[in-house]
A = this chain, B = another copy of it.
Amino acid sequence: MLELDETPLRMTSQRKVIIDELRGLRTHPTADELFLRVRKKRPRISLSTVYRNLEQLAGCGLIQKLDLCGSQRRYDGDTAAHHHVRCLRCGRVDDIPSEAMGDLRKGVCKTCDYEIIGYRLEYLGFCPRCRKQVRRGKPVKPKPRKKG
């Protein structure tokens, strides 16, 4: 993993507080949850600074941006690959310890102590048309905009 002093990023105090706070949490906070915490240490920080830094830190591989479902994105200070559980009632997100994976389906998960109701799975890849484009090195555009 890239370390703090190897990044091309200047280490501002805001950046330091954001990454420290996130790495100290096991709660997979949203940007605004993190903002509320970080603000206690740097009361003048702005929400967009939090967003911008989370984006950049994730770009450098120092943190992980979670692309889960739900209306708000969550961030993870743990950059190892692992899966997550979300509580259907309160929205809390926890890690699934890797030993628990594989045969985990329903019932109570011994290692994470959740009552598992189901899971959501989405495969990602390239559709037949895009496979060709990608091989020819055409850039991957994220998503087009529409208008009424």
Contacts and interface: CB of A to CB of B under 8 A. Distances in A.
A25 interface: no
Contact of A87 (B68, B87, B96, B130): B130
Interface residues of A, number: 51
A129 interface: yes
A118 B124 contact: yes
B140 A88 contact: yes
Count the copies: 2
Interface string A91-121: 1101010000000100001000111111111
B125 A114 contact: yes
B90 A130 contact: yes
- Which of A32, A114, A127 has the most chain B CB within a 10 Å cutoff? A127
A70 B115 CA distance: 26
Contact of A119 (B32, B68, B121, B141): B121
A125 B85 contact: yes
Interface of A: 32-33, 35-36, 47, 67-71, 83-92, 94, 96, 104, 109, 113-131, 133-134, 140-141, 143-144, 146, 148
B32 A141 contact: no
Nearest to A107: B125
Given A69-B67, A141-B89, A146-B32, A120 B124 contact: yes
